[in-house]
Structure 1
Amino acid sequence: MCGRYVNSRSPEDLGVEFDVDQSVLSERLAPDYNIAPTKRIYAVLDRPGDTPERQLRVVTWGLVPSWAKDRSGAAKLSNARIETAAEKPSFARAFKSRRAVVPADGYFEWRRQDGGVKQPFFLHRPDDRALHLAALYELWRDSTREAGHPDAWWWSATILTTESTGELRDIHDRTPLTVRPGALDAWLSTAPSHPDELRALLAPSTEELVARPVSTLVNSVRNNGPHLLEEYVEAAPTLF
């Protein structure tokens, strides 16, 4: 799964990296080293039209389906399983035509140690390049807002996950999916595609990551800052 992640990149840097046509930002997000569900995040997506437009947008992490009565269940839909996303009612429409990428420096996972203690790890690329996490987005009409109100439409997203592979599988059995190199345009395309073709554009993130043990300070969403990414070294036992 993916329950916490990091993005320290500016919208300007993301605009260049993803060749964005337009940044549609309701706000400018500060670097965040402990992003949790329900927070505002950056997402890259293609909006349909005669000439599709690639946009960088601010959305909320936690999908709100277009048919939902309210936004109360968003936190429970922060992740979507790739195995069922094309068929599950909460995600099927978005999987068909509203796909996105969530940029991340890396993400956190917890491994249960002896004694039941959970050790957090920061998973990232060895060269620290950005991860292009595969995502879905939705628009939900807030009926309490007038049509022209800036918040009349609620933008939200979920991150796709799959089974972990490789050496990092022992940390967690689920992992976010990333868009394969060269597959970004096909993944963001709003043109019809078969689900199997879309799934082939993605890869388990654990295929290319390294894991670094970090402090349990990350356990609390109140804690934030680059110090959360520092390697945790267990103190030696006191001899006297």
Structure 2
Amino acid sequence: MPRRQYATYASVLTVAMIAFIIGFPFLLAALAGAIRCSPDTCGAVGLVFGLYGRMLGVLIYGTAMLALISARCRRTGFSFWWVVASLLWLLAARDALMAGLNFWAVGFSFGILSFQWPITLIFFFAFVTFLALWKGSDENGSEPPRRSWKTAQASAALSAIIGVVMCIPLFVTLAWIGGLRLISPLSVVMFPQHYLYVQIGTHFITLTSALWLLLLVFAGALIHIVVSQRRVDVPPTRFSRPVL
């Protein structure tokens, strides 16, 4: 997919998703007013619509964006691994995507009691923006600086691994729903936050703090790559005509 076409589609989809999330409470209020439900019924309607309506919107956006990233990566010669990393970033940010500005009971249904900054979602948008700015070989662009590209790959890989750890409650819940009940989902909901950390003196390095550090490294490497990109002049062939 050409860079400008990718940038246009990604911008439209992202703006539509942001508008959908911001306007979702108003959609719930409009639905409740349209059916003139009683308080108890409105609560049930809000929960069902908040679960499946929001889930459908997130699935459509995620699938479309991953398809765009895959098409752009094929055009620029990037590995398909970046699509997998983008999927993990989105899955790790499921709390904000599903519970943010949603009906209050949805969070309890998903086991989401609270959520912090969706750091992995910032990783996702940083890479989406990078693909819109980077001129690959399809536009006679130069190769990314080796050191910065390796740094970006390493930080993205570590963040994706942390994303997998943060998705453990989701995977266990899906296995429980599918009938594979090896462990209770409630026992692993708080597992990443309460058991995976490193204590240095009186300070604690958690998954969240590690993600912030990796994000700074990742964004810095991508910015350096974009700033240092240059156009490679293709030598004219014997069939090319002179420009007058």
Shorter-chain TM-score: what band?
under 0.3
Q: Which has the higher helix share?
A: 2
Q: If the length of structure 2 is used for normalisation, what is the TM-score? A: 0.26
Higher share in strand: 1
